[in-house]
Homo-oligomer: A and B are copies of this chain.
Amino acid sequence: MSELVCGTSRIVGCRFSVFPMTDRFVEVIMGALHSVDTTKVWVQTDDVSTCVRGRMEHVFDVTRAIFAHAAASGVHTVFQGTYSIGCPGDTDADVYMDEDPTLLNCDIGKHADIETACQFALYPLGTDNYMEVIYNEVHRAKAAGTFNGSVHYASRLDGALSQVFESLENAFQHAIQSDHSHLVMTAVVSAHSPSAKSK
């Protein structure tokens, strides 16, 4: 993958929120944000969401770790994020692209085993063959064993938190390599849902 396509940066971003369904939500969210090493990404939090931007591997490393720390609270917690690459004009903070690829938060230990359910969708923009890109990534998740069926407007992944985020990162990485300059992926990942237990 070349460093520059269509005059835009190859910086990856994720705008996400973590929702711990508890009266202690502020403590869980702030604890998760502070437990994670974000020195290799640009990060900004507002009253609605947090945005991290940088090299693809660090964006996935940081978002996965923040959710893992929040979900380790044991309460029903949901991660909702939109990953994006190639958004026209998205060059701000390109300095983070110079970071080395060594992950800072890969040791999330036992948090990685938390069972999760995910619904995700890929949106390759500015191209006619976007459905083909989507089908390819569904097949990849099937091969990885995380795919658990299609629902309206999304594909479902089930598995340990680390497996689900690996499938998400693989889908995003391969879809952008196909031929696209602008790719968006949305993901909702749920942990400790009482609905899941009662099924």
Contacts and interface: CB of A to CB of B under 8 A. Distances in A.
A17 B125 contact: no
A29 to B, nearest CB: 9
Interface stretch (A60-68, A83-91, A97-105, A136-144): A83-91
Contact of A47 (B13, B19, B117, B121): B117
A186 B188 contact: no
Contacts of A49: 119, 154, 188
A82 B186 CA distance: 9
Interface in A50-92: 51, 53, 76, 78, 80, 82, 84, 87-88, 90, 92
A196 B47 CA distance: 6
B190 A48 contact: yes
Contact of A153 (B78, B84, B130, B153): B84
Contacts of A76: 25
Nearest to A93: B152
Interface in A7-29: 13, 15, 17, 19-23, 25-26
